[in-house]
Amino acid sequence: MKAKGYFNSGTYAVEANAVFKAREDLLVGANLLLNAKTFNLDKYDFGVNWEPSSGAYLGVKHESTSKETIKPGKFIFYFHHVISNAQTVGTEFAFDYQKRAVAARLALQHKFNEETSGKFKVNQAGYVDLALKHKVSNLLTAGVVSGVSLHGLVAE
């Protein structure tokens, strides 16, 4: 079991993460964020990750969408496959319980070298996102993120 705790002196927020290795191929985790000023639970996330074979990951997780009360939020089902040391492909399907909305996303991550990687994502609405990261030093990582709606480009 791994656990971490954080405290933000500016907002008095307390965050706690815990991951439990139930089996060799099964992880269970949770993340809580408590606002110590208001005593509100600002974030409550949990999930299960299963590795049925080497490099393939299936999971389900819950992400909170409400800071006022504890209620069902967004449920995400995902599959990630590590193709090689340089490439990973993944897909996610999400159901937002409060909005009654369904979303899907496909992603490809490529590691160009030890310091530079890129991620390409597209969702069901045709929104494309590109992120590039480069590790400049042990203390500094630079990144560029850009996105465009293909639906908007085709409609114009």
Question: For residue 46, which amino acid is it?
Answer: F
Encoding tokens for residue 20? 């439990």
User: CA-to-CA distance for 46 and 103, rounded, in angstroms?
Assistant: 19
Question: For residue 2, which amino acid is it?
Answer: K
At 17 the pLDDT is 87
For 64, other C-beta atoms within 10 Å of its C-beta total 19
* Contact in structure between 41 and 70 (CB atoms under 8 Å): yes
User: CA-to-CA distance for 3 and 33, rounded, in angstroms?
Assistant: 14
At 48 the pLDDT is 94
pTM for the whole structure: 0.73
Question: For residue 12, which amino acid is it?
Answer: Y
At 155 the pLDDT is 54
At 156 the pLDDT is 52
User: CA-to-CA distance for 49 and 25, rounded, in angstroms?
Assistant: 8
Residues of the chain with pLDDT under 70: 3-4, 6, 68-69, 152-156
At 60 the pLDDT is 94
> For 119, how many CA atoms within 13 A lie in the half-sphere containing its CB?
15
For 80, other C-beta atoms within 10 Å of its C-beta total 18
* Contact in structure between 15 and 33 (CB atoms under 8 Å): yes
